[in-house]
């Protein structure tokens, strides 16, 4: 299966369980790997035979910058579900949601969750 990668999409959202997260907001990064067969698109140089990266980006932006969720697990689930629902050519999708600056004490680069969801047969 071929793969489309969208790496380190950056958005500002209001997800979290702590009051300051939902009031002040914070940065979120999203990585998406979508599995699809784009051989025909490549052979014919035709966007209609694949999935637009811009459309996936817009969908991720809408979810991350939209309704607040307590958990980044919920953000990832909503992104994966929406991608599979909107883009019928995608067979499976892996979504990673990264919180670069969570309000927890300590030294770290970021925290993240990653899920993979497949189209139901």
Strand partners, 117: 93
Q: Which two tokens stand for residue 39?
A: 């051989």
CA distance 120 to 98: 26
Q: Which two tokens stand for residue 113?
A: 């969750």
**Choice among 3, 86, 89, 99 that is catalytic:** 99
DSSP secondary structure code for residue 89 in this structure? T
- Asked whether the beta carbons of 92 and 116 are under 8 A apart, the reply is yes
89 catalytic residue (yes or no): no
Strand partners, 3: 35
Helix (H) or strand (E) holding 69: none
Catalytic residue positions, numbered:
99
């Amino acid at each position: 299966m071929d793969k489309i990668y969208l790496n380190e999409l950056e958005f500002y959202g209001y997800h979290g369980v702590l009051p300051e997260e939902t009031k002040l907001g914070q940065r979120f990064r999203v990585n998406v790997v979508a599995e699809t067969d784009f051989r025909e698109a490549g052979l014919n140089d035709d966007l209609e035979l694949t999935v637009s990266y811009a459309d996936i980006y817009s969908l991720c932006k809408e979810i991350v910058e939209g309704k607040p969720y307590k958990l980044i697990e919920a953000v990832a689930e909503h992104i994966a579900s929406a991608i599979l629902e909107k883009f019928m050519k995608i067979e499976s999708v892996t979504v990673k949601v990264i919180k670069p600056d969570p309000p927890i004490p300590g030294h770290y680069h970021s925290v993240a969750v990653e899920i993979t969801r497949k189209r139901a047969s």
